[in-house]
Amino acid sequence: MNPLRSVGARLGLALAVVVAAALVLVDLIVVPSLERNLVNSKLSQLREAAPSIGSQLLNSSSFALDDNIQAASDSADARVVYFTVLTWSPPKLTVYADSSPVTSADVENDPLVLRAFADFPHLVSGTVTSGGQRYAEVADPLFGGPVVLLRAPLRDSLQTIHLVRRRLVVAGLIALAASLLVGQLAASMFARRLRRLERAADRIAGGDFGASVEDPGKDEVGQLAAAFERMRQRLAQLENARREFIANASHELRTPLFSLGGFLELMADEDLDPATQAEFMATMREQVARLTKLATDLLDLSRLDAGRLTVRREHVDLSALAEVLADEFRAVALSSGHELELENGIETAALGDEERALQIGRILVENALIHTPAGTPVRIRTARQNGSALLTVEDEGPGIPAEHAGQVFERFYRVEGSVASGSGLGLAIARELAELMGGSVDLHTVPGRTVFALALPAEAISREKGRVAEPSLQ
Ligand SMILES: Nc1ncnc2c1ncn2[C@@H]1O[C@H](COP(=O)(O)OP(=O)(O)OP(=O)(O)O)[C@@H](O)[C@H]1O
Ligand SMILES: [Mg+2]
């Protein structure tokens, strides 16, 4: 593997680059400005001292000149040269006094003195290099012709700068090494935690949802681990639900198939009288109908799960729908000994899918007829309430015990002791379909009275025109 692909190497390298860049910046900006400051402060010291030294020397008698220039040199901490200009061009001068005389030539050729000639009679200051050394210099032309030159070596100041620079380089190198080390350590800690997460992700991808994903940190990696753990729990739940669904579905399919197989064998093996044959055929038809219903329900559920079941958003008049339901179930109700009543309210226009709303209505009415004893009434009602259009199916059967009421909407859930032999899918499909249409199916049940209510978003009513408005597209 390319060594630069590891987080540790990259982090260490990035830190090293930052430290190196900081060092270069300090060397290019901070050190020169420090140097400038030191030189400028030396020059301003000399500029301040020059006029008073000049006037002192101007007023000195020739006997006291050497003593005075020495005293001035000590107080200004600089070499003091007092001279006069003989000719301007070429520059020629006579030195009256020099606190540390070397030769007059080094003063004559001093670039600052040459500038003093050019700028006469103004004070000039700057740095000069002489004999490999840098000096701060001030040349002050005095009234009447003589010039006082102050020259202070910058060696000490520059040495300080060099010392600072050397220390900075050493400190920088230490910081560089430390940053590489810290970067490597921090990254290897992160990398270890990330590798643990990677292993957990591989485990989950392989279908092993058993071990939880843990990370003690509260930082981003810790948050990522917590997100992984939530994902693992959800996937484990879905996997359980899937397994349960397959087990339930195969069980539900096996029962009628088993029964059909048995009848087929009986009919093939035995000589049956026509009456028994007809009875067997009727039972087989029932089983086939049950299988067909089960297959349709399972298909609906799988489409709902895959998000492939689309519903329309159209005008549905629940009152008209209730009439269709009543007509459809009148004969069944009669045969099961139930009295089917219809009470239609007003303004029951809803937005939804007519075919799916009818499917929900059928599930609810069928339940009311199947799960209640003969002789009890079943009422279909429609109404408008709190912005919803309602279709309720009410019966006077035994009701659903409170401990089961919350679960009857789960797939394959049947209340124990139910007389009828359904698959427990009807209410699950009804609720999921209603929610897909932006509505709901709710249950209110007490012994002797059970109400299932389908609520769909009510269609807006145009009061001026006194009719139901077109559904808004927004
Ligand atoms: N009106 C009702 N009165 C009493 N119990 C009911 C009523 N409606 C539903 N139940 C109970 O709720 C359970 C779930 O109903 P659901 O319609 O989901 O399944 P099912 O009727 O058993 O089978 P199917 O899938 O054929 O509809 C039923 O088994 C029954 O025990
Ligand atoms: Mg049912």
What average pLDDT does range 310-332 have in this prediction? 95
Nearest atom of ligand 1 to the alpha carbon of 452: 1
Q: What is the rounded average pLDDT for all residues in the chain?
A: 87
Query: Which protein residue's CA is at the shortest distance from atom 12 of ligand 1?
Result: 408
Nearest atom of ligand 1 to the alpha carbon of 395: 1
| 276 CA from centroid of ligand 2 (Å) | 30
pLDDT band at 106 (very low <50, low <70, confident <90, very high): low
User: In the prediction, which pLDDT does 87 show?
Assistant: 72
Please calculate the CA angle 117-120-123 and round it to the nearest 5 degrees: 105
Ligand 1 pocket, CB under 6 A: 363, 367-368, 371-372, 395, 397, 400, 408, 413-415, 418, 422-428, 450
Taking only the tens place, the pLDDT of each residue in 416-454 is 776 556 889 999 999 999 999 999 999 999 999 999 999
Residues 391/321, Cβ–Cβ less than 8 Å: yes
Nearest atom of ligand 1 to the alpha carbon of 420: 22
User: In the prediction, which pLDDT does 3 show?
Assistant: 63
Q: Ligand 1 test: best mutation among 427, 442, 446, 451, most atoms within 8 Å of CB?
A: 427
Instruction: Give buried/exposed letters for 157-195 (b at 16+ CB in 10 A, else e).
Output: beeebeeebeebeeebeebbeebbeebbeebeebeebbe
* Cα radius of gyration (the chain): 52
What average pLDDT does range 154-160 have in this prediction? 86
Taking only the tens place, the pLDDT of each residue in 256-300 is 899 999 999 988 877 888 898 899 999 999 999 999 999 999 999
Task: Please give the Cα distance from 82 to 107 (Å, whole number).
Answer: 10
Helix, strand, coil share of the chain (percent; to 5): 55, 20, 25
User: In the prediction, which pLDDT does 465 show?
Assistant: 42
User: Beta partners for 127?
Assistant: 136
Report whether pLDDT(470) > 50.
Answer: no
Taking only the tens place, the pLDDT of each residue in 201-229 is 999 999 999 889 988 888 888 999 999 99
Of the listed ligands, the closest to the CA of 441 is 1
User: In the prediction, which pLDDT does 396 show?
Assistant: 96
Report whether pLDDT(469) > 50.
Answer: no
User: Beta partners for 395?
Assistant: 378, 450
User: In the prediction, which pLDDT does 202 show?
Assistant: 94
